[in-house]
Amino acid sequence: MAASQGDYPGVSSSGLGGGATNEPLTPEVVAALVPDRPAEAHKYRFGRVLALAGSEAFPGAALLCVRAAARCGAGVVTLASHPTVRSVVAVAAPEITHLSLDPEGAPIGPGLWERLDGASAVLVGPGLGRTQPTRDLVRAAVRRCTGRGIPLVVDADGLVALAEDQDLLQALGPTTIVTPHAAEWQRLRGGRGLAADQPLWSQAADDARTWGATLIAKGARSTVAEPGGRTATWPHPNPALATGGTGDVLAGICAGLLAQGLSAWDAARLAVVVQALAAERVLAQRRWRTLLASDLWDEIPAVLHSLAAARTSAS
């Protein structure tokens, strides 16, 4: 992709209507977005996440995303996956509930669609695989979510299936977040690379408008764009996040925040900041230079608490 991830925030773009600008993402900007936790609330008040994730080859992707969704406060998280994945996740994260897909990734019985219809947010894609039944499942789930206005996150293998149906991609709707890294973004663009003479964030805004969805263009300085032209960029690169599985964690955070009632734009912005701050906490507290994606889990609640406290003290 030709455009550089070194594009800096805060620059106006003549190519976007209304003199749109790219704003920096900061803790101060997103602190007000942290969901409330009412003292008398029950688990369903905090939403139901359904994740279609994982396969025999990638059971860890499912674990990474569902535990991230739970850690950021979703009330109930359900994983629909292969039985092999279920056995892995059940041991590592006993809080997660389960539905089964067959070995090729197709649903077993009607329970999946019933659970999807009752979900507060749906996550499709991490480690799901690329068999034809799986791709068909992804597209069916996306159509059902967009048709019913169910908040949706599409990541990883879900993006591969989505890229094969440009009509579906361009009809996603405002309750959807797509989370591509550079190669996945190019695939969604029909193989077209980014233009070297246009800021990355401006091109993200163009694609978000075309697809009708919120886009997180993942990279050293991840950029969030929404269909109305607003964009925001995290300005502090952290190479420790350049490791396998961090995208699965980010997708899980997005789904967990959507389930708690945030809009796609707000959930995406808060998720990017929460993940970045969680990584900073891991490195600072443990005096490490690198991290594993699973190291982020336990820092997610601490970051949300810190942001909520900052909001309270500022008000």
Q: What is the pLDDT of residues 20-59, one digit of tens each?
A: 679 999 999 999 999 998 888 888 889 999 999 999 999 9
Q: What whole-number distance in Å separates Cα of residue 302 and Cα of residue 308?
A: 10
DSSP class of residue 21 equals: B
Domain ranges in the chain are: 39-189+211-232+243-274
* Domain 39-189+211-232+243-274 annotated CATH 3.40.1190.20: yes
Give pTM, 2 decimals.
0.93
Q: What is the mean pLDDT of the chain?
A: 92
Is residue 118 within 8 A of residue 48, CB to CB? The reply is yes
Per residue in 182-216, pLDDT (tens digit) is 999 999 999 999 999 999 999 999 999 999 999 99
Strands (E), 94-208: 97-100, 121-124, 152-154, 176-178
pLDDT in tens, 285-299: 989 899 999 999 999
266-287 confidence digits (pLDDT tens): 999 999 999 999 999 999 998 9
* Whole-number pLDDT of residue 17: 42
- Two tokens, residue 230: 């607003």
Rounded to the nearest angstrom, the gap between the alpha carbon of residue 287 and the centroid of all alpha carbons in its chain is: 28
